[in-house]
Amino acid sequence: MKTRLNWFAFASVLLATGTLTPGLASAGAGVRVCTFPGSPSIALDEAVAREALRTAGISLSLAPGGFDGSDDDGVSLKELNKALARKCDVIAGFPRSTIADGSGSKMTFSRGYLRSGYVSVTTRDATAPAGGAEVVAATYASPAQLIAVQQPNVKLDLENTAALTVDAVASGHAQRAIVWYPAVVAYAATHPEQHFRISGAASPYADWQLVFAFGKNGAALQPRIDAALQKMASDGRLAALTRKWMLPEADQTARPSVATFAYRDGPGRNDAAWRMMSAADHGAQQGHFIKVDASAAGDAPGFDRAQVAHGKTLYSSACAKCHGPGLQGLNAPALRGPAFAPAANAKLTIGGVYGYMTNNMPADRPGKLKPQDYADIMAFLLYSNGYGAGATKLTDDNAKASKTPLNAGTSQ
């Protein structure tokens, strides 16, 4: 198992006239623009930044060293805030999605300048595997891993970077890859002899936009950058800069039906194909989607306050990196609020969510925790969604067996 996080793992951490905010940048240096280390779209991000700030009448200085790249745990939310406070006024190439956009952070964001997506990549001469699991490459701790882990009958090949993920297919190490499309563009630029077959990845996690992110010191720039991007979009300059980075329309229309896969989130779950089995199904395997049936009502399993406290500690160390310190969602779905536990008519059961968690989480090492630790995390999630603590301890068996729909509790 490789352990270095890629540039997308924290993603989602969270031309008006006027003068720049005092102290925004050092005298004569202009606005400091950082890009993410290791991002396959750095060339695009820098080009759009130059043109946008030129259009806004603002000088800039590129600060590619705004982040420390030596930490094996990637860029944390703390490091992100530190960079924006001390080294950068703007981060170019910040990834956002409608599911995991980091909107709960203190940052502000521009309008998007590139809408692209995660794609399924094979070589042009690839053939379907004759029986057995398909080897699928994905970038560790990225949306690609979340997409790949939910597909049936696959064996994951987790790579450290998007470039290595594409290369796993090119070298024949993997039969297919799930990767962000700009990574394919960047790889093709250095390997022009290599040609791929691209199709869209049918997943709610697949659709992302690149934006500019501003910290406290740079928030005054946001309306000016938005106005610049709007002007660039109107006169065709933005399209010219981003054309080769955009997913071709033919590939978008060639996306497989969402019904081909079994996804935990996203649209299209109202028909019979999306009625889900109980998560207590003993046939569920690690790396496969745990299906859930929320049609059977029942009482929520009990848990105590000691479990909530322990579960919160475990969540902070094992889950918060992807799901956010406040369960708000970063590069993985939110685990609090109506998207996770609606007020009524839930499509997920408590046992279903628990079964999915124990078989597939944490994304870097599925199933690595002890059964009681998973139960304690589930107690914390229930408490965070309005369920009240009592005197009964939640056990692994009780959590698995619960067919109670995950509607938000009203005890808090």
Beta-strand pair 154-159/134-139? parallel
pLDDT at 269: 30
Positive or negative: CA dihedral 181, 251, 276, 327: positive
CA distances from 78 to 10, 90, 109, 325 (A): 11, 16, 18, 11
**Residue 82 pLDDT:** 76
What is the location of CATH 3.40.190.10 in the chain? 31-114+208-249, 116-205
State the chain's mean pLDDT as an integer.
Answer: 76
Q: What is the CATH number of domain 31-114+208-249?
A: 3.40.190.10
Q: What is the pLDDT at residue 201? A: 85
Tell me where in the chain the CATH 1.10.760.10 domain(s) lie. Answer: 275-401
42 to 39, 101, 141, 219, 232: CA distances (angstroms): 6, 20, 20, 22, 19
Which pLDDT score is estimated for 130? 63
CATH architecture of structural domain 116-205: 3-Layer(aba) Sandwich (3.40)
What pLDDT is recorded for position 207? 86
- Give the CA distances from residue 371 to residues 135, 285, 394, in Å, rounded to whole numbers and listed in that order: 28, 16, 11
Contact 109, 211 (CB under 8 A): yes
Q: How many residues appear in the chain?
A: 412
Cβ proximity of 374 and 354 under 8 Å: yes
Question: Which residues in the chain come in under a pLDDT of 70?
Answer: 1-29, 64-79, 99-105, 126-131, 141, 249-298, 331, 364, 410-412
CB-CB contact of 148 with 178 (8 Å) = yes
Helix or strand holding residue 91 (H, E): strand 90-96
Strands 31-35 and 114-123: unpaired
DSSP code per residue over 181-225: HHHHHHHHHH-TT--EEEEE--STTSEEEEEEEE-GGGGGGHHHH
pLDDT at position 262 is: 32
| Superfamily designation of domain 275-401 | Cytochrome c-like domain (1.10.760.10)
The answer to whether residues 173 and 136 touch, using CB atoms and an 8 Å cutoff, is no
Q: Which helix (H) or strand (E) holds 35?
A: strand 31-35
pLDDT recorded at residue 286: 31
- Structural contact between residues 157 and 138, judged by C-beta atoms closer than 8 angstroms: yes
Dmax of the chain from CA atoms?
Answer: 66
* Nearest CA among 330, 6, 43 for reference residue 180: 6
Spatial distance between the Cα atoms of 145 and 158, rounded to a whole number of angstroms:
8
Residue of 375, 361, 377, 372 lying closest to 309 (CA atoms) = 377
pLDDT at 412: 47
Contact criterion met (CB below 8 Å) for 169 and 175: yes
Q: How far apart are CA 181 and CA 255, in angstroms?
A: 13
Cβ neighbours of 232 (radius 10 Å): 22
pLDDT digit string, tens, across residues 117-133: 899 999 987 666 666 78
Contact between 382 and 410 (Cβ < 8 Å): no
Judged by DSSP in three states, 278 sits in coil
Q: What percent of the chain has pLDDT over 90?
A: 36
Contact 347, 294 (CB under 8 A): yes
pLDDT of residue 129: 63
DSSP state of 32: E
